[in-house]
């Protein structure tokens, strides 16, 4: 890690789940990441989005919190799978009023951050 970069700057250079796991020095099983990389990153994002209002201003504390949530996101898929975890809306089904189930995802939900 380049010590001259801020945490935000360093994170901008990370592009894959493996990059994030390596950056935060989290040991991982490549086969788990290979199958679940997008799910892991989305779950990490979701965890951080809920935590964002409570993040401390100090970067070293933020780094520890980011590491904790990334490790938890990874562990979610060590002990479970993408169909069970339903991270993405396409995996979430709802009952239709006329009966049956739907996994319809409206376009506004597809492009929201």
Contact 87, 76 (CB under 8 A): no
pTM exceeds 0.75, yes or no: no
* Residue 106 placed within a domain: yes
Residue 78 domain boundaries: 14-110
Query: Which residues have a Cβ under 8 Å from the Cβ of 93 and sit 6 or more positions away?
Result: 101, 102, 103
Contact 24, 66 (CB under 8 A): yes
Q: In what helix (H) or strand (E) does residue 65 lie, and over which residues does it extend?
A: helix 59-78
Over residues 57-70, the pLDDT tens digits come to 999 999 999 999 99
Higher-confidence position of 21 and 103: 21
Residue 110's pLDDT band (cuts 50, 70, 90): very low
Distance from the first to the final alpha carbon of the chain = 27
* Residue 1 placed within a domain: no
Q: Which residues pair with 94 in a beta bridge?
A: 102
* Residue 48 placed within a domain: yes
Domain count, the chain: 1
């Amino acid at each position: 890690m380049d010590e001259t970069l801020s945490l935000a700057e360093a994170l901008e250079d990370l592009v894959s789940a493996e990059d994030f796991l390596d950056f935060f020095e989290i040991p991982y099983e490549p086969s788990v990441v290979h199958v679940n990389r997008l799910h892991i990153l989305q779950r990490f994002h979701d965890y951080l989005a809920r935590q964002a209002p409570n993040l401390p201003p100090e970067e070293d504390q933020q780094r520890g919190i980011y590491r904790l949530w990334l490790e938890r996101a990874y562990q979610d898929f060590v002990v479970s799978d993408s169909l069970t975890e339903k991270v993405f809306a396409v995996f979430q089904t709802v009952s239709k009023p006329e009966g049956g189930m739907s996994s319809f995802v409206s376009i506004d939900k597809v492009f929201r951050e």
